[in-house]
Structure 1
Amino acid sequence: MSSIAGLIAFLFAFSLPLVSACPAYAFDTALDRGEQIFSTNCAACHMGGGNVIRASRSLKLRDLNAHLEQYPQDPLEALEHQIEDGKNAMPAYADQLSEADIVAVATYVEQQAELGW
């Protein structure tokens, strides 16, 4: 009986690192997907977190806090809303990107803003 308990403990200990590694891999994949979508759809106007049309409306943290409604309270939701609906010269992407893609781009933008682009 003790050999079965030992085998179960061994299998559990061996599989735990594999299971805990999966969420990190999925998160990296989502960020990679967000970066890819950003490069394809957004970088022409927002290369390096800037804004070629209105310099004061960059994707840098200070400008997001100053110009994007609700950013200080809920950054991801504010970014998702902006991506979905667009505003002024920025087109809306709700009909072009899936919800998962919009979340991936918003996550990527938030991460880059936090890192200072």
Structure 2
Amino acid sequence: MFLLRSIILFNLFVLLNTNCTLAQDYEIDLDAGQEVFINNCAACHANGENTADPAKTLKFDILESNSMNSISAITYQVNNGKNGMPAFGNRLSDEEIQNVANYVLNQSSKNLW
């Protein structure tokens, strides 16, 4: 019993003294997302197009068919890149990535491209 109590207390101590990084919530800022898009994405994705792979535009039906029609999918792609798209995780803050992902999905879902 003493051993079990010691193990539990030790684990509790470790848990409480460990630095945990939790996902941060950001207020959606579509204007900031547009600015990030213009400065970092528009060279290849102007008007929702894709100069590297014309079949993979940012239009909603294309995003949907490629399972890219969610904030989490878009943020993952922006962070890590894929195929011809470079990773932006080391260039943009998490907040900038969240804003641009929301901007892209907003534009796409409202057929604004």
Normalised by the length of structure 1, the TM-score is 0.70
Partner of 2:85: 90
What residue in structure 1 maps to residue 74 of structure 2? Answer: 79
The answer as to 2:37 corresponding to 1:38 is yes
Give the match for residue 58 of structure 1.
57
Alignment-derived partner of residue 109 in structure 1:
104
2:94 paired residue number: 99
CA displacement at 1:66 relative to structure 2: 1.4
Q: TM-score, normalized by length of structure 2?
A: 0.72
- The runs of 4+ residues in structure 1 deviating greater than 2 Å are none
CA deviations 1:20-50 (Å, max 9, x no partner) are: xxxxxx64xx111000000000001000001
SS at 1:57 equivalent: coil
Secondary structure, counterpart of 2:55 in structure 1:
helix
Greater fraction of residues in helix: 1
Among the aligned pairs, what percent are the same residue?
37
Which blocks of at least 5 consecutive residues in structure 2 are unaligned?
Answer: 1-26
1:115 deviation in Å? Answer: 1.5
State the alpha-carbon separation in 2 of the partners of residues 105 and 91 from structure 1. Answer: 15
Letter in 2 for 1:48: N
Aligned length: 86
Aligned residue identity for 2:49: G
Specify the SS of the correspondent of 1:32. helix
CA-to-partner distance for each residue in 1:69-103, whole Å, 9 max, x for gaps? 4x35xx00000000000001100000000000000
Pairwise CA distance, 1:113: 0.2
Structure 1: 5+ residue stretches without partners: 1-25
